[in-house]
Structure 1
């Protein structure tokens, strides 16, 4: 994408659930780098709305959407458990539509997540999984402070059905 893009980043709402589902399906078609087995199994609409509302009310969870011309083009999240011995850990996820790769949107989104987590104070650690062959994403995560903590062998399938290794990356927060 060569022209300048105006992007708005805001928290997800229950009204966004269909657009988020559409983005995830689009991203799953556009890239072979997802570490999930499926992009989001179909669920009934009421359940999706309820889950989004519950996640939005969780103290250790933040879900952001990036919009260009009122279309959701990116999604970023930190999901943390509450009331467990791992409640200090937030799992990070980022998805950006292919048309918007390479413009700094991923870095902007991950920066927003880190800023929120540091301000929150409850989370002491962020972690994520990324396919080793996704060099651009690995570079981005390292650029913002994540470290490779281990390799999960044969942890994800490619579209062709081949198994690939996945890095486990972590970032300790102050």
Structure 2
């Protein structure tokens, strides 16, 4: 995948969206987006308004991703507003550099419209083109059944469980660890 990715995509409900690589100037809007989605469900590792990076910190992070040939963040926009994002971030340590961590999120109003699959396609294609990446890992709340189904569709296998990883509204939830082996 080219780091200058820009393309139009069409969802199951025929919405026309733009998929592109993130850029440092997205920092403020990404923070706002993440703080909104944190409150839309219990699927994230943070709640509403708990994503606490400053705009400068997020800009620095996005710039580092942009300069890294083994990591990428993509955003999906509707009318220039971010409605979904996904990333693959590779470990920089020599002994672990063949490992990458994948994460995606979609605004609730766009769930079940194929956007997760569109993002997964792009991210996995990117990982396959990286000669270094051999294993893509993700983690997920066991209650997020639709996402688990999506990840399995793309070839991810369950490799472990973190017991009681999430504590939401007075209740513990387990976390599933899933891997996709590209070797």
Q: Can you list the C-alpha shifts for 1:66-115, whole angstroms capped at 9, x where unaligned?
A: 01111100010001122421100110000100011000000110111000
Question: Aligned runs of 1:9-158 on 2, under 5 Å?
Answer: 9-36=19-46, 41-158=51-168
Distance 1:40 1:126, change over 3 A: farther
In 2, the alpha carbon distance for the partners of 1:62 and 1:39 equals 24
TM-score, scaled to structure 1: 0.92
Q: Does 1:168 align with 2:177?
A: yes
Q: Can you list the C-alpha shifts for 1:107-144, whole angstroms capped at 9, x where unaligned?
A: 11011100011011210000000111110000000011
DSSP-derived class of the 1:110 partner: helix
In 2, the alpha carbon distance for the partners of 1:96 and 1:143 equals 18
Aligned counterpart, 2:8: none
Cα deviation for residue 60 of structure 1 reads: 1.7
The 8 Å contact of residues 72 and 89 in structure 2, kept in 1 or not, is answered as yes
Cα deviation for residue 48 of structure 1 reads: 2.1
Q: Can you list the C-alpha shifts for 1:9-41, whole angstroms capped at 9, x where unaligned?
A: 110000101111111111111011113578754
In 2, the alpha carbon distance for the partners of 1:84 and 1:37 equals 33
Query: How many residue pairs end up in the alignment?
Result: 173
TM-score, scaled to structure 2: 0.88
In 2, the alpha carbon distance for the partners of 1:45 and 1:29 equals 20
RMSD (Å) for aligned C-alpha atoms:
1.9
In 1, the alpha carbon distance for the partners of 2:178 and 2:49 equals 21
Cα deviation for residue 151 of structure 1 reads: 1.0
Distance 1:56 1:40, change over 3 A: farther
